[in-house]
Amino acid sequence: MFQKLSLTASVLATSVLAQVPGTLTPEVHPSLATQQCTNAGGCVTVNTSIVLDSQYRWMHNVGGHTNCVNTGFNSTFCPDAATCAKSCALEGVDYASYGIHTSGSSLTLNLFKQENNVTTQSSPRVYLLANETTYDMFHLLNKELTFDVDVSQVPCGINGALYLSEMDPTGDSSDLNKAGAKYGTGYCDAQCPVNNFVKGVADLNMTNGACCNEMDIWEANDAATAFTPHPCNATGVLSCQGTQCGRGTGNKYLGVCDSDGCDYNAYRMGNQNFYGPGKVVDTTKPFTVVTQFITSDCTDNGTLSSIKRLYVQGGNVIANAAVNITGMAPQNNIDNAYCASEKKVLGGTDAFTNQGGMSQMGQALSRGMVLIFSIWMDNGSGMQWLDASFPATANSTTPGVARGPCSATSGDTTMLTAKYPNAAVTFSNIKVGELQSTF
């Protein structure tokens, strides 16, 4: 998933991670009810809530109004990591002003916000909280995760995403990080993003990355969708540097994470009439997404062997479309064989296998992962890796090149800002439970 590298400069200039709670704006977490389900007892509502990522918040000197970070750390407040943590405060936010709205079990994220008749990018990212200071940890081996989604207002070039990362439950709360999960700290993923604070410590030279296992449950717009495991050879959050992060020319596959992942995109797998407006899964209307994590021995302690996808729409259960590419088995799930075959037939480096494959991904799902919601547009590739032909220079008739029906220019961010100021995704009825219990 590439969002983590695509925040606009205007956002980054005023939004950074911090360690001390501010006192100017109260932090009030919007409620977002979820459900836990069993086959015997049905579903029970849980009083969960959401929190905005700390990188979107104002960080200023304690007792003042001066930014602690602009293009770099303010050396007056941050001569060293310990002083920085004590000298800088992270403020609460007005969630509606970021285009974040909840109602009961429903969450809507707007890509843009309007101020004084001017449209600017908000692109919020939020996490699910179990309580005021702890993220809700999802343990999904031998379980399923289900939600409803409305992508009818998410056009080509925009991605409304729901995914899991192996973040620390407290947001790396410590003596140097008093803000913690309450203020959305501790982000990590398989792209090993460079954050201002990594594992709760100021990255004064901006040289460290925050690596962790990532499971992309849902990356989608109204034209294309993919689900993708990204295993990392790491437990929890790993602070990386250089080659360990996969940085530098020729080093992408020498890092600890599979940044490409093993994606399953029905359109890319040869089923162009399965997902989209008026298709088998009709994206002009809401529908239910079910993701099942199957283990080798059908127990919660087994090894992850398969990730399965189902849809429910109009009262009908819809099986995921099967692979329709010569040289690949006609399966509709992700497993080790599928991932190896995808790289062999379609091309690419099999970092998935090299980083431990399904077993490694399953270990992270067993330890627990944080649920993340976001909406964003890709200033780099224009989201073509999700919904168009990619690479753009490749022949679109070559198997695996066409990821969706969108054009090479549909992800132009200037055009999207002008044409789709109301772009938004809605997630609702989030459930987790035993297999076959949530739908």
Q: Which of 91, 144, 166, 219 is catalytic?
A: 219
CA angle at 28 for the pair 23 and 30, rounded to the nearest 5° = 160
Locate tokens 């792209």: which residue? 191
Tens-binned pLDDT, residue by residue, of the chain (439 aa): 545 444 433 343 333 444 688 888 999 999 999 999 999 999 999 999 999 999 999 999 999 999 999 888 999 999 999 999 999 999 999 999 999 999 999 999 999 998 888 999 999 999 999 999 999 999 999 999 999 999 999 999 999 999 999 999 999 998 888 999 999 999 999 999 998 889 988 889 889 999 999 999 999 999 999 999 999 999 999 999 999 999 999 999 999 999 999 999 999 999 999 999 999 999 999 999 999 999 999 999 999 999 999 999 999 999 999 999 999 999 999 999 999 999 999 999 999 999 999 999 999 999 999 999 999 999 889 999 999 999 999 999 999 999 999 999 999 999 999 999 999 999 999 999 999 999 9
CA angle at 248 for the pair 245 and 250, rounded to the nearest 5° = 105
Secondary structure of residue 324 in the 3-state scheme: coil
Q: Which of 91, 166, 214, 342 is catalytic?
A: 214
What length does the chain have? 439
- 3-state helix vs strand vs coil in the chain, percent to 5: 15, 35, 50
Kindly state the DSSP code that residue 402 receives in the 8-state scheme.
B
Task: Give the pLDDT score at 1.
Answer: 52
Q: Strands 275-276, 281-282: parallel, antiparallel or unpaired by DSSP?
A: parallel
Q: How far apart are CA 379 and CA 373, in angstroms?
A: 19
> 106-142 as b/e, with b when 16 or more CB fall inside 10 Å?
bbbbbbbbeeeeeeebbbbbbbbbbeebbbbbbebbb
Q: From 132, 171, 179, 189, select the one nearest 374 (Cα to Cα).
A: 189
- Would residue 434 show up in a list of annotated catalytic residues for this protein? no
Run of H or E including 377:
strand 369-377
| pTM > 0.75: yes or no | yes
- Would residue 219 show up in a list of annotated catalytic residues for this protein? yes
Which amino acid is residue 414, in one-letter code?
T
Sign of the four-CA dihedral 18, 46, 147, 95: negative
Please answer whether residues 31 and 47 qualify as being in contact, where contact means their C-beta atoms are separated by less than 8 angstroms: yes
Task: Give the pLDDT score at 21.
Answer: 84
Cis peptide before 391 (omega within 30 of 0): yes
Secondary structure of residue 303 in the 3-state scheme: coil
> 172-196 as b/e, with b when 16 or more CB fall inside 10 Å?
bbeebbbbbbbbbbbbbbbbbbbbb
Run of H or E including 387:
helix 384-387
Strand partners, 226: 219
